Amino acid sequence: MTPMNLLWCFVGCLGGTLVGVLPGLGPQAAIALLLPATFYLPPVSAIIMLAGIYYGSMYGGSTTSILVNIPGEAASIITCLDGHQMAKQGRAGPALGISAFGSFIAGTFGIFLLAIVARPISEFALRFGPPEYFSLMCLALMVLTNLTSAPLSKSLISALLGLFLGTVGYDIFTGYPRFTLGLTCIMDRIGLIPVIMGLFGVTEVLMNVEQGLKQTLSDKKIDHLLPNKEEWKRSAMPIARGTIIGSILGILPGGGVVMSSMTSYAVERRLSKHPERFGKGAIEGVAGPETANNAASQCGFIPLFTLGIPANVTTAILLGALMLFGLQPGPMLIKNNPDLFWGTVASMYVGNGMLLILNLPLIGIWVRVLLIPYTLLFPLILLFCLVGVYIPNNSVDELWLMIFFGVVGYIFQKIQIPLAPLTLAMVIGRVFENAFRQSLLLSQGSLMIFFQRPISGTLMSIAILLLVLGSIPQLWGIREKLRT
């Protein structure tokens, strides 16, 4: 509750809302852009601000989806279906209102869940040794690769490339440089900042410029932000169900905000007595998904803080930020850095209140922001990327790295190779390798150590099962092609 921490919480929430409102700039790109600026802050203040950007963007994403029919971030894609239809019918106010109130309810529940379950999970995770950590990270990667929309083979290519990038630099066991090509800028390791800014900043700009986003701002007057009694009645159960769905999927590695919002929409449509209303302005189609994605964003911090395993790309970037500050997320984080954990939890309670106050009265300002021409917006984003990469180390080489990964990300998007597995694998790559090598040292080279220990064996078996189940559709498709 110190004034500076409250200030950074406010800055994060305001910046996150703005990020959500602006089409084409998601929370991953925003956190990547602002990460260099946090190097001059205490770790607690920095994480409070970055977390505020994350869950704040979930709030702001609904505004652009409802008013412009362009999702401000991926989790708000599904909100466009009914939210924009409501705006065209002159009901933008209730759509924005129920989105804000549902987000506040779900976010508060998610924070409460984080505060309740984090310590028990951390105490359980203290039983983890190197084999258990290796198996857990294998499971996280397999869950994430199975949940992407791309074929499993492309997701595995992305994950393996990320693991390879995580090994570049000095070998921690022998001290010899590996795969550095004689470049001094990657002798220690490939910097996280140029990679994520390239993949999520430069790539997003290139993709959006190519697609040519079109603004279709609703010309209906925005008023009556408070939903009426009938709209509250229709939204009550979708908000309750969305909170539960988002909380569960938010904890699971790979579940994340996108899957939670889409799952919530599918559930509401299935349970509705009038499914024909969905896609034509059903308020349930706004309340459920917007609630679910906010619950998921808050609960995504549970595996990050307790196990050191990010649940999605954004928390993977936050994991990298914690490591840059010299902190190791995992079961000892709450014990060794209680100020960081409980400070972040407390800031989320405050931040949710700030977001509720910010979102409704400032709708008029956000509408003005939506009128910024993309010809001005995207060059500014590129400028922030360049400045953000150059300032920490004053390195021109890292600028070239950022541009390189921006082009790689663009090519991957074009050939439908997902970036999420690559990012997660690269962030955990060094820890993944160390856990594997330490396990082999304990077992004198035997791989059976990953199956002989109960927790490790269970996690590894589930990971292998996911690999097999994910491979079946692709193998079946190859079989059918060979037969024809």
What angle, 0 to 180 degrees and rounded to 10, lies between the N-to-C axes of helices 27-34 and 3-21? 140
Q: Residue 461: its pLDDT value, please?
A: 92
Could you report the per-residue pLDDT of 179-216, keeping only the tens digit for each? Answer: 888 777 788 788 777 887 788 778 877 887 777 655 55
- Whole-number Å distance between alpha carbons of 33 and 389: 8
- With CA atoms as reference, report the closest residue to 147 among 30, 70, 262: 262
Could you report the per-residue pLDDT of 111-170, keeping only the tens digit for each? Answer: 888 888 888 877 777 777 889 888 888 887 887 777 666 778 888 888 899 889 888 888
Rounded to two decimals, the pTM is: 0.70
Q: Are 405 and 194 in contact (CB under 8 A)?
A: yes
Q: Is 36 helix (H, G, I), strand (E, B) or coil?
A: helix
Burial class, 207, CB count within 10 angstroms (exposed 0-12 / middle 13-18 / buried 19+):
middle
Per-residue b/e over 351-374, b at no fewer than 16 CB within 10 Å? bbebbbebbbebbeebbebbeeeb
Q: Are 31 and 373 in contact (CB under 8 A)?
A: no
pLDDT averaged over consecutive 10-residue blocks of the chain (484 residues)?
88 82 68 76 88 81 72 68 81 83 86 84 78 84 71 85 88 82 80 79 78 55 71 88 86 66 83 82 86 84 80 77 80 82 87 80 70 72 77 79 90 85 80 88 89 89 86 69 63
- Whole-number Å distance between alpha carbons of 445 and 481: 41
- With CA atoms as reference, report the closest residue to 56 among 79, 26, 82: 26
The dihedral built from the CA positions of residue 312, 380, 9 and 193, taken in this order, carries a sign that is positive
- Whole-number Å distance between alpha carbons of 285 and 280: 9
- Calculate the CA dihedral of residues 38, 199, 249, 327 and round it to 10 degrees: -30
Burial class, 399, CB count within 10 angstroms (exposed 0-12 / middle 13-18 / buried 19+):
middle
